[in-house]
């Protein structure tokens, strides 16, 4: 049988670094050759070799409506007929920003960008300008994009400045970032004791998705709010993944904690490249052209991206009852998975947050990056390939989230559980 994916990967390695345009696509964490996708429909993906996969990646959480939703596709097509890009203002930009503001009341003003990375990068610059301070606090295992200030490993203890987490990040830049243990209130307090007058902001994923799914406790998030407010620092919630994933709005409303700025992406672009950040008017007014914080983008507010976002948010607003439905389906699926692993005597912890989840191959609770790293990555790789061989597409890395979309039907879960039960026979 011809393996077109393998041929394409060899070809790609000759022109793309590692054969990919984003590292995790290379299957480096699980081994093997990545599959090359030709199309997606509803909850399914199809590769160049004609294989069908029930998709639990959903373009890394972007496609909450599933693949090629007809209203989103039509919105993109209709917009494209009028023009793809103008480099000028359009009404659709206003419409999408207004929809975000209506769904998330603390967003007095919104700036559209092209990715989650741009959103967090710009929010940090804005926070530093507003506070006239230089230090940023982040948390181990939280990924906020690939900008220099946030590609930082943890130091040894709460009072240790960061060191670079990537080549090409100067130590002088990394030294402006404190990376602390997630869900550790005492470490956060110590950081503010040592550096409070220099801390410009704390940025946190209220539901982490890049050490696998790990929810912040409400007490931890409450402490971030109290400490930042007391010290005059800003609190930034990175809701690039969690925004519109749990409800029509942001996760911050579920925990009743109001940050100063929120970063968004993924779902709000309906599958096209998009990002946004926003918050209180007094802060956002510092952005150019109103203020002296420069941020710009030729394709920011791109007509196709905002059209896809408007269509997606329109469906989500009209079908808010489906959030409960996919949470129910995801919970039932995770419980059934736990039962299958128990039958095989395989130690697994499944962290679930509404319609996202991660299977950690460990027998201990996972509540931060240290405990996440105890999971058996080799066993996850074996599990991943067993699923791939039987037509199920999970995230190709232990420390990533799986996602359920509105397109997943009860019959899909029945099918996938039957396939997983067969796959586990080889464990």
| Domain boundary residue, one of 318, 353, 371 | 318
Instruction: Return the CATH number at 240.
Output: 3.40.640.10
pLDDT score for 161: 42
Residue 189 and residue 48 share a domain: no
Residue 153 and residue 10 share a domain: no
Q: What is the pLDDT along the chain (427 residues), one digit of tens a residue?
A: 469 999 999 999 999 999 999 988 999 999 999 999 999 999 999 999 999 999 999 999 999 999 999 999 999 999 999 999 999 999 999 999 999 999 999 999 999 999 999 999 999 999 999 999 999 999 999 999 888 777 775 332 333 344 456 677 777 788 899 999 999 999 999 999 999 999 999 999 999 999 999 999 999 999 999 999 999 999 999 999 999 999 999 999 999 999 999 999 999 999 999 999 999 999 999 999 999 999 999 999 999 999 999 999 999 999 999 999 999 999 999 999 999 999 999 999 999 999 999 999 999 999 999 999 999 999 999 999 999 999 999 999 999 999 999 999 999 999 999 999 988 887 7
- CA pair distance 37, 126, nearest whole angstrom: 38
3-state SS class at 330: helix
55 included as an active-site residue? no
Gap between the terminal Cα atoms of the chain:
26
Residue 325 and residue 219 share a domain: no
pLDDT score for 155: 30
| Domain boundary residue, one of 318, 352, 375 | 318
Could you say which of 266, 368, 380, 393 is catalytic?
266
Q: Which residue has the tokens 């736990």?
A: 338
Residue 148 and residue 83 share a domain: yes
Instruction: Return the CATH number at 412.
Output: 3.90.1150.10
Task: For residue 300, give both structure tokens.
Answer: 């920011």
Residue 335 and residue 301 share a domain: no
Task: For residue 425, give both structure tokens.
Answer: 């026979």
143 included as an active-site residue? yes
* H or E element, residue 198: none
| Domain boundary residue, one of 302, 318, 334 | 318
Residue 161 and residue 261 share a domain: yes
Could you say which of 44, 53, 143, 251 is catalytic?
143
Residue 230 and residue 157 share a domain: yes
251 included as an active-site residue? no
Q: How many helices, marked H, and strands, marked E, lie in the chain?
A: 15, 18
Residue numbers of the domain that contains 298: 70-318
pTM: 0.95
Residue 238 and residue 203 share a domain: yes
Q: Which residue has the tokens 């946030």?
A: 150
Task: For residue 363, give both structure tokens.
Answer: 């027998």
Residue 88 and residue 42 share a domain: no
Task: For residue 109, give both structure tokens.
Answer: 């003003």
Residue 238 and residue 103 share a domain: yes
pLDDT score for 427: 73
pLDDT score for 164: 57
- Name which of 343, 357, 347 is nearest 405 in CA terms: 357
Residue 324 and residue 311 share a domain: no
Total domains in the chain come to: 2
Cis peptide leading into 42, omega within 30 of 0? no
> Please, which residues have CB within 8 angstroms of residue 201's CB and are 6 or more apart in sequence?
123, 124, 127, 128, 131, 136, 137, 228, 233, 234, 235, 236, 260, 261
Could you say which of 238, 260, 368, 412 is catalytic?
238
Residue 247 and residue 156 share a domain: yes
């Amino acid at each position: 049988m011809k393996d077109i994916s393998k041929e394409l990967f060899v070809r790609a390695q000759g022109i793309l670094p590692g054969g990919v345009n984003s590292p995790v696509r290379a299957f480096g964490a699980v081994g093997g050759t990545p599959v090359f996708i030709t199309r997606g429909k509803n909850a399914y993906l199809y590769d160049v070799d004609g294989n069908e996969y029930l998709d639990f990646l959903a373009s890394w959480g972007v496609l909450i409506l599933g693949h090629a939703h007809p209203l989103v596709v039509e919105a993109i097509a209709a917009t494209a007929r009028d023009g793809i890009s103008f480099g000028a203002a359009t009404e659709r930009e206003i419409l999408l920003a207004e929809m975000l503001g209506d769904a998330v009341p603390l967003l007095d003003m919104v700036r559209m960008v092209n990715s989650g990375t741009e959103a967090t990068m710009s929010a940090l610059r804005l926070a530093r300008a507003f506070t006239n301070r230089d230090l940023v606090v982040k948390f181990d295992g939280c990924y906020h994009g690939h900008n220099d200030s946030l590609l930082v490993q943890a130091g040894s203890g709460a009072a240790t400045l960061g060191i670079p987490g990537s080549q090409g990040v100067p130590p002088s830049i990394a030294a402006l970032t404190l990376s602390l243990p997630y869900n550790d209130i005492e470490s956060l307090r110590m950081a503010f004791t040592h550096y409070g007058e220099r801390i410009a902001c704390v940025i946190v994923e209220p539901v982490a998705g890049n050490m696998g799914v790990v929810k912040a406790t409400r007490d931890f998030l409450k402490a971030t709010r109290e400490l930042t407010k007391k010290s005059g620092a800003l609190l930034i919630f990175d809701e690039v993944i969690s925004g519109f994933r749990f409800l029509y709005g942001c996760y911050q409303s579920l925990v009743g904690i109001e940050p100063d700025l929120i970063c968004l992406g993924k779902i709000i672009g309906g599958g096209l490249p998009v990002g946004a950040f926003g918050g209180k008017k007094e802060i956002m007014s510092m952005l150019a052209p109103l203020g002296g914080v420069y941020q710009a983008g030729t394709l920011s507010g791109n007509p196709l991206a905002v059209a896809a976002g408007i269509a997606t948010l329109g469906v989500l607003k009209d079908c808010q009852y489906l959030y409960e439905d996919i949470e129910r389906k995801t919970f039932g699926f995770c419980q059934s998975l736990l039962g299958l692993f128990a039958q095989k005597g395989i130690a697994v912890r499944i962290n679930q947050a509404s319609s996202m989840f991660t299977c950690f191959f460990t027998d201990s609770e996972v509540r931060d990056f240290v405990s996440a790293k105890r999971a058996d990555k080799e066993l996850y790789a074996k599990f991943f390939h067993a699923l791939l061989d039987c037509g199920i597409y999970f995230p190709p890395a232990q420390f990533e989230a799986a996602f359920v979309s509105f397109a997943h039907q009860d019959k899909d879960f029945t099918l996938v559980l039957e396939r997983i039960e067969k796959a586990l026979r080889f464990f």
